[in-house]
Amino acid sequence: MYKIVKREQIADNIFEFWINAPHVTKTGRAGQFVVIRIDEHGGERIPLTISATKGEDVRIVFMAVGKTTQQLAALEEGGESIRDIAGPLGMRRR
Ligand SMILES: Cc1cc2nc3c(=O)[nH]c(=O)nc-3n(C[C@H](O)[C@H](O)[C@H](O)COP(=O)(O)OP(=O)(O)OC[C@H]3O[C@@H](n4cnc5c(N)ncnc54)[C@H](O)[C@@H]3O)c2cc1C
């Protein structure tokens, strides 16, 4: 489980999340992406870009456009977690 460290709505339907995911930040950098599965019930996996990393936390910025991104946007910081984060994926820039 990956804890939501910080959640902020930064514009209409646009959300910034910082998620604790040490296995991603170990080698992952902005421009690569992760694939997120919110919980074991909501089976859909969605790709989201890593926009920054800090320590063991990864930043994602996303637009709530459909089922899974709206479900993600409804999660709260502090107590709530994400079931799976696969990554980092994609090419790493130098
Ligand atoms: C490699 C990769 C990286 C991505 N990184 C990001 C990211 O950092 N931030 C982000 O917000 N999205 C990103 N996306 C898009 C994101 O994966 C989709 O928004 C998400 O899968 C939508 O899932 P959903 O179940 O919420 O919506 P769905 O129910 O699958 O889609 C609902 C409707 O919204 C439309 N739609 C889907 N995505 C978008 C969009 N981004 N803008 C406008 N309309 C859309 C669909 O065509 C559909 O009509 C990325 C996609 C890829 C392939």
- Ligand 1 centroid distance, CA of 36 (Å): 12
- Ligand 1 centroid distance, CA of 55 (Å): 27
At residue 92, the pLDDT reads 82
The string of DSSP codes covering the chain is -EEEEEEEEEETTEEEEEEE-HHHHTT--BTBEEEEE--SSS---EEEE--EEETTEEEEEEE--SHHHHHHHT--TTT-EESEEEEEESPPP-
At residue 79, the pLDDT reads 83
Name which CATH class applies to 2-89: mainly beta
At residue 80, the pLDDT reads 86
Q: What's the first-to-final CA gap in the chain, in angstroms? A: 30
Ligand 1 nearest atom to the CA of residue 70, by list position: 26
At residue 42, the pLDDT reads 63
**Running along the chain, 94 residues long, what does each successive block of 10 average in pLDDT?**
96 98 96 95 88 98 96 92 95 78
Inter-residue contact 85 to 33 (CB < 8 Å)? no
- Ligand 1 centroid distance, CA of 9 (Å): 17
